[in-house]
Amino acid sequence: MVDAAKCNLCMDCIPPCPTGSIDNWRTMPIAKAYSIEAQFGWDELPAELTSDELAVEGVVVAVEPAVAPVAPALPAAASGEVLFNSAQYGATVPPWSAAHAYTNLYGPKSAEKTITATVVGNVRVTEVGREYDTHHIMLDFGTMPFPVLEGQSIGIVPPGTDETGRPHHARQYSIASPRNGERPGYNNLSLTIKRVLEDHHGNPVRGVASNYMCDLKVGDKVQVIGPFGASF
């Protein structure tokens, strides 16, 4: 739902959206903006305003030619070899990381070798009141390269020290999103983490990394290492 009275086009709602449903653009004069009540009553999206209807409201839509996405040049292209382009047949252009499983780009030995990710989404996926608490957490890497493939995992380095005074070691989590992240074109990935509140014997205990991750808020920074493992 979009509340036109509050929206200032800052776009802060776009990256955290786990489904991409907000990213459905159409030109709409503010005077004809859909109300919240109307949106809740929809079973399907209403028809868009035509260019003539927009012109009546003083809105002129510039028509630009559609530009097809272009895949980055692959190494074989340098030799002059003709490459098969699946996009010509309606297939999605794969990301640049698709041809190779990268591992251990960032290690745990020093702070300089970790990479900092920003939390852009933390959604509880279990009902409040259940005996367990599971969160779907989205991490964005900005302009830093962190290519992953399905089946790989990453390490999260919790802040602070353990009972011996040593920095916490990294905890490993499987990636819960495809190689393109939650949405193509964004340098992110997601983890689905269950909060640990007891050990294998049923004794109360708070898992260091799981509780740290489940309590994160949008905008928080996380130290990450990896990626690990090859794809399935």
**Which residue is listed with tokens 């794969």?**
94
- Sign (positive/negative) of CA torsion 219, 224, 227, 232? negative
Q: Determine the pLDDT at residue 74.
A: 45
Q: Give the tens place of pLDDT for each residue, 173-199.
A: 999 998 888 876 778 999 999 998 877
- β-bridge mates for residue 171, sequence order: 156
CATH code reported for the domain at 111-228 = 2.40.30.10
Q: What is the mean pLDDT of residues 126-138?
A: 85
- β-bridge mates for residue 176, sequence order: none
Cβ neighbourhood burial of 181 (10 Å; 0-12, 13-18, 19+): buried
**Which residue is listed with tokens 């449903």?**
21
Find the radius of gyration of the CA atoms of the chain: 22
| Least-confidence region, from 9-23, 37-51, 133-147, 212-226 | 9-23
Give yes or no for residue 162 having a pLDDT over 80.
Answer: yes
Q: What is the mean pLDDT of residues 198-213?
A: 86
**Is the full-model pTM beyond 0.95?**
no
Give yes or no for residue 80 having a pLDDT over 70.
Answer: no
Give yes or no for residue 223 having a pLDDT over 60.
Answer: yes
Q: What is the mean pLDDT of residues 150-170?
A: 92
Q: Determine the pLDDT at residue 85.
A: 55
| N-term to C-term CA, the chain | 37
The contacts found for 92-98 with CB under 8 angstroms, 24 or more apart, are 92/184, 93/69, 95/147, 95/179, 95/180, 95/184, 96/72, 96/147, 97/147, 97/148, 97/149, 97/179, 98/149, 98/179
Q: Give me the residue spans of the domains in the chain.
A: 111-228
CA angle at residue 74 from 73 to 75, to 5 degrees? 120
Structure tokens at 198: 């007891």
